[in-house]
A and B are shown apart, each in its own frame.
Chain A
């Protein structure tokens, strides 16, 4: 079943566009990532550099890297998984409309950001008001991704009917979980943007309830991180055991973990709002409990992946309690499929840091120490910037090369890309995290803060640690230069084989048929019930405790916009 597969020309083109377009934008997003560490270390002490304002660039960095790149990748990856594992082609016209809307939305939002009219950061908290095209562009991007998902559902249904006695392929369970989480996340976002922000930014309504918009944003914002993470989990469960030369330890674990994410991704968003007014602390506590609940599937994943790697290492001749770790293909320079291993393992090493710092963030009172300090970007560069980013760029390169029938060029250099990135992110994150404990804020042009009348805040140990992030940012950028070099040379190399679709697929060591993880329905119902409980009363409180709505402001002026 897991043979190379030829796919139709038009669909191949669509997937290629959806992979290449965000990679192109990523150049811009990564560029400003590097420039940002220069500001933060005081190397650049001005409001803008080469025509790009600090906060404008920060908006670009967040929107492109965390929203645009990830959404495009998830859709393209989903199309490919459906084609490969279900052997069914999604509706061609709908899929093209989906891709077209996503590209159009991205272009509109990029225009708003690059013209300097939407420097509101990727959280776009009102009453900072962006150009309407920023909100409209974001909406089109999301609607585009919905259409792609909706076109997969009938294919899944008919596959289930035709294969009634078979388990759904794990990758398909994964991608449907990903998009169910995405749907739950983007509904409150749609309310915030369509009902509240777009009419307000167009001037149809004078004010907006800031606290409500903020709460709806985080209702979206936390499941969003699982929308990033789950495609990486698909690769870790389905492909990592194969490329490390082993088997997936437990098939049930994978299915159960995906179902856990369906029920627990959304009702945890208040842990981003521990320091907010208008929300009862008892509800903050309730979300804390559920947030810790969602640590369980991650613990299980950690165990299952380690067990799978141990199996792989031992079948390669590894021995001992821990010595087998040395027998994994860390330095494999092939350009077939095993080159994915360094990317995956680097991501997982980073994720072990991200998991622990994440638990600290979610720990109710402990959050007060680090909320909105540079600890937070220190944390999420080891999650979304770790396993998510590394597996997404690796899989983009893998799929592009396969679809075009190219061989990976400079495999030796390619092997070092993820390790260099890992060392860079660790250096960056340790610097940012420790500086955060000293109180260094996250979203601040520190280059200018150095020159203020109150230098005592911005000098001393905290800043010293902050400067360490320059070294990390430099290594990360260098790693990306190498990645783009490999990517472009691969793209321009001679065609070596017929273009095709292929994913390495692991066999399973423990393959059980446990019925309660075979069906999405009960899990979706539990998810809805939990969401209603977790958000019903908090939203009511937020509306009760807000005394007035707010007119819009631009970043330039303390007076409301007319």
Chain B
């Protein structure tokens, strides 16, 4: 192996390790998490907003061809929100634009993520997975007040 080649293998390994440190930082310090495997919640058939306390909400979203249930939700700024997402028919997407909340809604399973909205405003939820003829019209809203 020529020397230059050894140097480049070393440098690219260092670069990759730096990237890793960045990713670990995002998870550990910034607390950005990915959805994981949930077996404790059964798939539900209708959407629901549950207010546990003043600043703790649970929203159960049902995605179906071609709308979300609930379509419009109001939550306060700074509340911790547990999002549960499932689908009644085909695979849908669930992306709250401008946030890290980006989930797949898969029939037969429940997807979960937690989110705190720190800024007031009107957030759009978009279905980003092809789900048939009406896909391009499928969206919902969250009002953060």
- Most-contacted residue by chain A among B2, B20, B66, B124 (CB, 10 A): B2
Within 8 A of A (CB), among B127-145: 127-133, 135-137, 139, 141
Task: Known A127-B89, A296-B9; judge A558-B65 contact (CB<8 A).
Answer: yes
Measured between alpha carbons, how far is A250 from B8 in the docked complex, in Å?
13
Task: Known A127-B89, A441-B93, A441-B128; judge A300-B12 contact (CB<8 A).
Answer: yes
Within 8 A of B (CB), among A285-312: 288-289, 292, 295-296, 299-300, 303-304, 307
Nearest CB of A to B81, in Å: 16
Nearest CB of A to B40, in Å: 10
Chain B residues whose CB sits within 8 angstroms of the CB of A299 once the complex forms: 8-9, 12, 15
Cβ of A444 under 8 Å from chain B: yes
Within 8 A of B (CB), among A507-562: 510, 512, 514, 541, 544-550, 553-558, 560
From the candidates B8, B20, B89, B139, name the one contacting A558 in the complex (CB within 8 A): B89
Chain B residues whose CB sits within 8 angstroms of the CB of A442 once the complex forms: 128
Cβ of A352 under 8 Å from chain B: no
Chain B residues whose CB sits within 8 angstroms of the CB of A547 once the complex forms: 42-43, 108-109
Chain B residues whose CB sits within 8 angstroms of the CB of A501 once the complex forms: none
Measured between alpha carbons, how far is A277 from B104 in the docked complex, in Å?
7
Q: Is the CB of B130 within 8 A of A55?
A: yes
Interface size on A, residues (CB 8 A): 78
Q: Is the CB of B16 within 8 A of A307?
A: no
Chain B residues whose CB sits within 8 angstroms of the CB of A555 once the complex forms: 132-133
From the candidates A127, A307, A359, A365, name the one contacting B90 in the complex (CB within 8 A): A127
Cβ of B33 under 8 Å from chain A: yes
Instruction: Classify chain B: how many residues form its interface, as a range.
Output: 35 or more
Cβ of B68 under 8 Å from chain A: no
Task: Known A363-B23, A452-B136, A553-B65; judge A253-B5 contact (CB<8 A).
Answer: yes
Nearest CB of A to B109, in Å: 4
Chain A residues whose CB sits within 8 angstroms of the CB of B108 once the complex forms: 209-211, 546-550
Nearest CB of B to A380, in Å: 16
Task: Known A214-B106, A371-B102; judge A296-B111 contact (CB<8 A).
Answer: no
Task: Known A368-B102, A373-B128; judge A284-B34 contact (CB<8 A).
Answer: yes
Q: Is the CB of A439 within 8 A of B126?
A: yes
Q: Is the CB of B93 within 8 A of A372?
A: yes
Measured between alpha carbons, how far is A252 from B5 in the docked complex, in Å?
10
Chain A residues whose CB sits within 8 angstroms of the CB of B49 once the complex forms: none
Q: Is the CB of B91 within 8 A of A210?
A: yes
Measured between alpha carbons, how far is A368 from B98 in the docked complex, in Å?
11
Task: Known A250-B2, A369-B102; judge A300-B37 contact (CB<8 A).
Answer: no
Q: Is the CB of B136 within 8 A of A457?
A: no
Considering the complex, give the chain B residue whose CB is closest to the CB of A274: B34
Within 8 A of B (CB), among A407-447: 438-439, 441-446
Considering the complex, give the chain A residue whose CB is closest to the CB of B100: A368
Chain B residues whose CB sits within 8 angstroms of the CB of A3 once the complex forms: none
Cβ of A366 under 8 Å from chain B: yes
Considering the complex, give the chain A residue whose CB is closest to the CB of B23: A364
Q: Is the CB of A545 within 8 A of B136?
A: no
Contact with A along B17-49 (1 / 0, CB 8 A): 001101100110010111111110011000000
Cβ of A89 under 8 Å from chain B: no
Q: Is the CB of A288 within 8 A of B23?
A: yes
Q: Is the CB of B23 within 8 A of A277?
A: no
Q: What is B's interface to A at a CB cutoff of 8 Å?
A: 1-2, 4-5, 8-9, 12-13, 15-16, 19-20, 22-23, 26-27, 30, 32-39, 42-43, 64-66, 85, 89-91, 93, 95, 97-98, 100-104, 106-112, 124, 126-133, 135-137, 139, 141
A-B contacts besides A292-B19, A303-B5, A365-B34, 19 pairs, CB < 8 Å: A127-B90, A276-B104, A277-B103, A281-B35, A284-B34, A292-B20, A295-B16, A368-B34, A368-B100, A372-B93, A372-B129, A439-B97, A439-B98, A444-B136, A457-B97, A545-B39, A546-B108, A548-B107, A558-B66
